[in-house]
Amino acid sequence: MTEQSPALDNLLTESRTFPPSEAFSAQANATADFYAEADADREAFWAKQADRLHWDTKWSQVLDWTNAPVAKWFVGGKLNVAYNCVDRHVDGGHGDQVAIHWVGEPGDNRDITYAQLKDEVSKAANAFESLGLTAGDRVAIQMPMVPEAIFAMLACARIGVLHSVVFGGFSPTALRSRVDDQAARIVITTDGQYRRGKAAPMKVNVDEALEGAESVEKVIVVRRTGDEVPITEGRDLWWHELVDGQSAEHAPQAFDSEHPLFILYTSGTTGKPKGILHTSGGYLTQAAYTHHNVFDHKAGEDVYWCTADIGWITGHTYIVYGPLANRTTQVVYEGTPNTPHEGRHWEIVQQHKVSIYYTAPTLIRTFMKWGNEIPEKYDLSSLRVLGSVGEPINPEAWIWYRENVGANSAPIVDTWWQTETGGIMISPLPGVTATKPGSAQKALPGISAKVVDDQGVEVGKGGGGYLVLDKPWPGMLRGIWGDEERFRDTYWSRFRDQGYYFAGDGAKYDADGDVWLLGRVDDVMNVSGHRISTTEVESALVSHPTVAEAAVVGATDPTTGQGIVAFVILRGNAAATLKSGGDSAGQDAVQELRNHVAKEIGPIAKPRQILVVQELPKTRSGKIMRRLLRDVAENRQVGDVTTLADSSVMDLISTGLKTGK
């Protein structure tokens, strides 16, 4: 268990609740009896949810758990995921409905109807097939938030090819390891991307990543910024030249419900990211069910906006698959929230009359910092449901969100889930739940979660421990790409006897039995809602020639949730130069290391602070005691040091920091 900070204690005594208004409840998609219905017969409940989709062949069995922990959902069923997200709505007479209001960062716009989406996806599918891609192949996508990224994902799904989207901010090294791990045949990217008002390169990074990458046959480049890029003859193709001339007719083939849909890499407790594998029927069912009920989405009426990037699971499930399966009209925004000004999001909400807005606590805290007067300038009266995801939301931020964005009335849904769970697992239901600032509250109908102690025994009200998922669910991961053993070890070995999935999060029940998430209990940090492992950053640091040893901790940060703090021991020569060079040499060395981490992993992993130390606190068995380093990083009295091999080490670190030595 992680130690609880005083802030968390306050948080857990939160007693305010906000019951839904009668008017909201009267029109809500979800009703209170969903819980009882799902409890009475979980499989029948999920079968009913699967009926939201179009199945070419109906399944014969809802769940096959005989090969646990690898589940099969909707066994024998066949469907095409892209058909469900696109063509079906056109066939149903909604071709003219806008699917995507795309807003470019520099101010360009593009509205894409479902009919147009169908054409674009079909053309891309034909193009991919013309390159010889067939079902089961892998395509890596590193792109900013442009419509072609969504077309590419759906075109892959349409032909049974697995996509693997790599966040645009990841370094060439990070992209390369992901491309190699899955042996991707094709990589799709853009010439560049707009970031904070400027065009930044993208293709050159991809080129650097792919030098000598054996599996990659073609690189498809979407023109976005118009900047000139080097083209490798025979390998690189422009999207517009390849795709635009293709036929807009493409017959979708039905795939097995368990056909793989995508791989998405996420940080684990070791340096090597895990390729989380999701499949088709169960994943899409949970995506559509949760999007419909948690956001109370009404097709053809609501305008929905999820601010995530498609490089993360939230972008997969709540920009692409869930919303499009539910015939959503949504905003997709390319850029940063303060470009060209800090009211950009609210301006977009006002312009498009956004009614459902889903974002992350780190951004809410940033909005708070920018000031109430910014949202006040805009008409936000269209907003009727607000969502939060990525990390625990502190009650102050929750209340600010409610008052300044939700006009004191829009229900807030704090949604707990993971890349591995595929879709939302724990969340209030708008119109049903009396919400509580800071708590994700209850597992959704059809989902089962428990807080258990070390032994796997459920704790009582007021008790804390580990969050587990004790029953299989449709959107669950089916494995880690190419590493079944790691899949079993990471998620299923901690509570093997009980057969529980271990989520890696600490949690607690309050007096009402509501669940409060307390953050990761493993060596995974959560920085602005992004998962980064301490080991990954440590490996990046020790790969620098001046570093002998490194220990990394996540320290509480008022804006980003956690900030990365690194303690490094320099090699002999570097340490000596540093001593003779004084303060400025120290700053240069630290800056160089920060940049090195950004280069190895990506700017999101840049340590907030790097402290050069002489020693690291270790137990007698040589394990670094991160708990003590966290005390230093958070400016606390250093805790119990009795298990240290050398108890004077902490004094050395603390005095060293004070005197700058």
Residues that bind ligand WTA (CB under 6 A): 266, 312-314, 389-392, 414-419, 440, 503-505, 517, 520, 526, 531
Secondary structure of 362-400 in HEC code, one letter for each residue: HHHHHHHHHCCHHHHCCCCCCCCEEEEECCCCCHHHHHH
DSSP structure class, residue 468: E
To ligand WTA, the closest distance from the beta carbon of 267 in angstroms equals: 9
Cα–Cα distance between 126 and 286 in angstroms, integer? 29
Q: Please report the beta strands in 560-636, taking only residues with DSSP state E, as ranges in sequence order.
A: 561-570, 609-612
Residue 287 · residue 317 · CB < 8 Å: yes
Q: Please report the beta strands in 428-545, taking only residues with DSSP state E, as ranges in sequence order.
A: 449-452, 464-469, 479-480, 501-509, 515-520, 524-527, 530-533
The CA-atom distances, in angstroms, between 226 and each of 192, 194, 199, 262, 600 are 8, 11, 9, 30, 27
- What six digits make up the tokens of 541? 């640091």
Q: Which is nearer to ligand WTA, 547 or 552 (CB)?
A: 552
To ligand WTA, the closest distance from the beta carbon of 426 in angstroms equals: 7
To ligand WTA, the closest distance from the beta carbon of 504 in angstroms equals: 6
Residue 187 · residue 214 · CB < 8 Å: no
* 3-state SS, residue 634: coil
**DSSP bridge pairs for 388:** 359, 414
**DSSP bridge pairs for 275:** 265
To ligand WTA, the closest distance from the beta carbon of 449 in angstroms equals: 12
The CA-atom distances, in angstroms, between 238 and each of 186, 216, 530 are 13, 16, 31
Q: Which is nearer to ligand WTA, 190 or 314 (CB)?
A: 314
- What six digits make up the tokens of 44? 């029948």
To ligand WTA, the closest distance from the beta carbon of 390 in angstroms equals: 5
Q: Which is nearer to ligand WTA, 317 or 329 (CB)?
A: 317
**CA nearest 140: which of 124, 116, 162?**
162
To ligand WTA, the closest distance from the beta carbon of 139 in angstroms equals: 21
Residue 255 · residue 280 · CB < 8 Å: yes
The residues, any chain, with a CB within 8 Å of residue 395's CB and separated by 6 or more, are 11, 14, 16, 437, 438
To ligand WTA, the closest distance from the beta carbon of 560 in angstroms equals: 13
Question: Considering just the CA atoms, what is the radius of gyration of the chain in Å?
Answer: 25
To ligand WTA, the closest distance from the beta carbon of 427 in angstroms equals: 8
To ligand WTA, the closest distance from the beta carbon of 440 in angstroms equals: 5
- What six digits make up the tokens of 21? 């208004």
To ligand WTA, the closest distance from the beta carbon of 620 in angstroms equals: 31
Q: Which is nearer to ligand WTA, 239 or 318 (CB)?
A: 318
To ligand WTA, the closest distance from the beta carbon of 419 in angstroms equals: 3
Cα–Cα distance between 279 and 73 in angstroms, integer? 9
Backbone angles phi, psi at 127, to 5 degrees: -60, -45
Element (H, E) at 303: strand 303-306
Q: Which is nearer to ligand WTA, 327 or 365 (CB)?
A: 365
Q: Which is nearer to ligand WTA, 255 or 398 (CB)?
A: 398
Q: Which is nearer to ligand WTA, 250 or 365 (CB)?
A: 365
Neighbours of 591 (CB within 10 A): 11
Q: Which is nearer to ligand WTA, 436 or 531 (CB)?
A: 531
Q: Which is nearer to ligand WTA, 222 or 360 (CB)?
A: 360
Q: Which is nearer to ligand WTA, 97 or 362 (CB)?
A: 362
Cα–Cα distance between 122 and 120 in angstroms, integer? 5
Instruction: Using the Cα atoms of residue 532, residue 533, residue 537 and residue 540 in order, give the sign of their dihedral.
Output: negative
DSSP structure class, residue 3: P
Q: Which is nearer to ligand WTA, 13 or 580 (CB)?
A: 13
Q: Which is nearer to ligand WTA, 362 or 526 (CB)?
A: 526
Tokens 């906000």 sit on residue: 18
